Chain A
């Protein structure tokens, strides 16, 4: 039986109604959730959390007023609002909110990040989240699962992002929308495991989950990724499924590097980048945003902040940063951005005329030194 099947206690294809253990959303999606909620319900009937991470601190009066609206709603319903402490998915992990949870609904597409903790976590739109808040339940169709088995050991400069850009690219012609991805034999650290489940959303998976022992049985397919031979990967504009080996795009001039986000803003990921930048100078605008205040604190304690600022990096407050193009490092016309985030759709980070390439923190850091996309395996 699949892990998803076990968590939902049902077979793939069945439609079920389930109690939700946690519902959370952020400043980007809350305004529409509040509108839908207020039209039907008076009372929140589940454990709920709100995080301000998408556009915080407010860059405009309009955003400041949306924040006010959300705070007011949260106060009425006794929902905790966590402001400026980091990205929702990361904080749910750090605050221990996923412990003992089986089913989590988030008002953000990257909610499946929490699958790294063995939870069934699913992203939904505003109306569905409002209903989850008001009823404490949701209806779900149990997805089929494909098993992804990681085999061997990654080479020194290969990170979880490289595995995912490879996987997403290899799955691009498959109908994945109602499938879950279940990972087994994962040789990565805790911080990197969250990257696997987070990035699975870009393969159009409904959710993703990491298991320990692979038993097989009940899976719609089984895919093995040979880690020993996997090169550093880059996703070209304008899709995360446009993955190529970094060699194919080496030498592409870049205007800005961003290291951070729910994909790659955790301590180990920033540390890998900082090790490369230690004692060097970046040759291009480089922004680093820790995924949470706890990551930031460790960066200070372990000397990473000094390394980064000495290398010429701009450190942003914890949060989503420029990933979604609303503030703090928006892309200009015809600029080329190299980013450790998970989406490089047209216009995602600002100007629709900007080009976005996705890569791991290691590839992003070494490229920042040269001002062009650079193969870490060739240069380090």
Chain B
């Protein structure tokens, strides 16, 4: 499974309040939530990003509230993947549970800049920076996590297994 898109780079400790502020939590509709994703951090992100684009960030991405609205908003906006140096614990589980691919790759984050064209191969953990002509490695997902992401999340994955 591969994705390709431009990088949007941010710093450390991107919290769930800036990913999707509580003032927009009057709905669980992912499309509605996606309209405001990262609005308080980068007001231009939503209007300028294209489907497939990739968020790249520093340490502790997704810290703060347990709101699953945060990875839902990112996924529904069309972001294909989040690459960070590290993820906050609840966000990490939430992202996989709803089928948003996330990768920990500290060296990649140090090198990537906003606007770089990236290609990510989830099965090998390889991140190609097509703009800079560089290749970085992330730890690939264990098979069962890859299956959950491919299924579109833990609920769909569990449903299929119950049926099978």
The total of interchain contacts (Cβ-Cβ below 8 angstroms) comes to 107
Q: Is B140 an interface residue (CB 8 A)?
A: no
Contact flags (1/0) for B16-42 with A, using CB distance below 8 Å? 011001110111100000000001110
Chain B residues with Cβ below 8 Å from A75 are none
Q: Is B139 an interface residue (CB 8 A)?
A: no
Interface residue total, chain B, C-beta cutoff 8 A: 40
Q: In the complex, how many angstroms separate the beta carbon of B160 from the nearest chain A beta carbon?
A: 11
Chain A residues with Cβ below 8 Å from B66 are 29, 107-109, 123-125
- B94 lies within 8 A of A125 (CB): yes
Given A125-B97, A127-B94, A204 and B89 contact (CB-CB distance below 8 Å): yes
- B40 lies within 8 A of A352 (CB): yes
Interface residue total, chain A, C-beta cutoff 8 A: 40
Q: Is A347 an interface residue (CB 8 A)?
A: yes
Given A40-B162, A62-B26, A326-B23, A127 and B155 contact (CB-CB distance below 8 Å): yes
Chain B residues with Cβ below 8 Å from A108 are 65-66
Bound together, the chains give a CA A352 to CA B64 distance in angstroms of 16
B32-91 interface (Cβ within 8 A of A): 39-41, 60, 63-69, 72, 86-91
Chain A residues with Cβ below 8 Å from B27 are 62
Q: In the complex, how many angstroms separate the beta carbon of B75 from the nearest chain A beta carbon?
A: 13
Bound together, the chains give a CA A204 to CA B22 distance in angstroms of 20
Bound together, the chains give a CA A39 to CA B28 distance in angstroms of 15
Given A36-B155, A124-B66, A126-B68, A177 and B21 contact (CB-CB distance below 8 Å): no
Q: Is A102 an interface residue (CB 8 A)?
A: no
Q: In the complex, how many angstroms separate the beta carbon of B162 from the nearest chain A beta carbon?
A: 7
- A350 lies within 8 A of B90 (CB): no
Closest residue of chain B to A111, judged by CB?
A: B66
Chain B residues with Cβ below 8 Å from A66 are 26
Q: Is B101 an interface residue (CB 8 A)?
A: no
- Interchain CB contact (< 8 A) of B93 among A39, A109, A125, A348: A125
- B28 lies within 8 A of A128 (CB): no
- B25 lies within 8 A of A28 (CB): yes
- B90 lies within 8 A of A40 (CB): no
Closest residue of chain A to B87, judged by CB?
A: A177
Chain A residues with Cβ below 8 Å from B155 are 36, 39-40, 127, 130
Known: A36-B155, A125-B93, A352-B40. 13 other contacts (CB 8 A): A29-B66, A32-B68, A40-B155, A60-B26, A62-B27, A108-B65, A109-B64, A125-B68, A175-B86, A325-B23, A326-B25, A343-B64, A347-B17
